Amino acid sequence: LSNPDLTLQGNGALGSTLVANPGTWDSGSDLTYAWLRDGVPVDGASSNTYTISQADLETTIEAVLTVSKFGFVTITKSASIEIPKGQLVASPPALSVSGAKASVGETLTAATFDWNFAANSSIQWLRNDVAIEGATGQSYTLSATDLGQNISCAVTGSLDHFDSKTVTSSSIKVVLGSLTIVPKPILAGRSKVGRTLSIKKNLWGQGVTLKYQWLRDGVKIAKATKPKYKLSKKDLGHKISVRIVSSQPGYFGVTRITKPTKKVVK
């Protein structure tokens, strides 16, 4: 019998097909094939082609050719290839924002998506491409620290016998947030000389700084910048109100002026 070598065509990538090339044998020769994975026969693999599956990753795939012909010694040939790790593929995650803009106080959410194989995913939010400590959930609430910064989300996929893969969303620049618009605050206390006026209730949330300016007929009262104001003889016959300016890092400020009191009496 002629005795050519068995060769393999193909790179062994996941999903690709290996072809066992037997060469040219004498007429009448009977050629049979078997494929082995790390030395163990693969069930049903008996043709001269073999498609690489997930189970083959990081193994050695061997083609075995047996050639027989009546009156001749049976010949066995083999050729093998090391199968590399698989490659994960996914599009970068899309980001959505809870409000109209990516502003301080709003929440960014990374859309769920699938890898080409059932990989495990881990999430890391980034500020100017640097990991934000502890920000590893599906959503991320923007803080004052993020103001003016570019926020993105990186998703890393991992799966046995695959190279890990990281895909990163496009970045979003964070703008000033808006403090909750509060109703007009209401004054408490009688408009009478000697009495003290104050705000009935603090309608702003935690972390908000309030600045006060008391007004007499709409004009600033010198040094009257405390949360409370004691009415004096100077206020007699005038109407008193207070302007409150709220501020918080990363937010636009909000200004509110109370409804004036009745004219102050004795």
Environment class of 223 (CB within 10 Å of its CB; exposed 0-12, middle 13-18, buried 19+): exposed
Contact 113, 86 (CB under 8 A): no
Close Cβ partners of 75 (under 8 Å, ≥ 6 residues apart): 1, 3, 66, 67, 68
Burial 137-170 (b: 16+ CB within 10 A, else e): eeebebeeebbebebbbbbbbebebbeebebebe
User: What confidence score (pLDDT) does residue 178 get?
Assistant: 80
| Residue in this structure with the two tokens 């393999």, named with its chain if needed | 8
Average pLDDT of every residue of the chain:
93
Which string of DSSP letters, residue by residue, matches 209-263?
A: EEEEEEEETTEEPTT--SS-EE--GGGBT--EEEEEEEE-TTEE-EEEEPPPPSP
User: What confidence score (pLDDT) does residue 202 get?
Assistant: 65
Q: What is the pTM of this model?
A: 0.72
User: What confidence score (pLDDT) does residue 249 get?
Assistant: 85
For the stretch 201-254, pLDDT in tens is 766 777 888 999 999 999 999 999 999 999 999 999 999 999 999 888 888 888
- DSSP assigned state of 56: G
Contact 200, 183 (CB under 8 A): no
Close Cβ partners of 215 (under 8 Å, ≥ 6 residues apart): 221, 240, 241, 242, 243, 257, 260
Residue 188: in which H helix or E strand, if any?
A: strand 187-188
The low-confidence residues of the chain, meaning pLDDT below 70, are 1, 181, 202-203
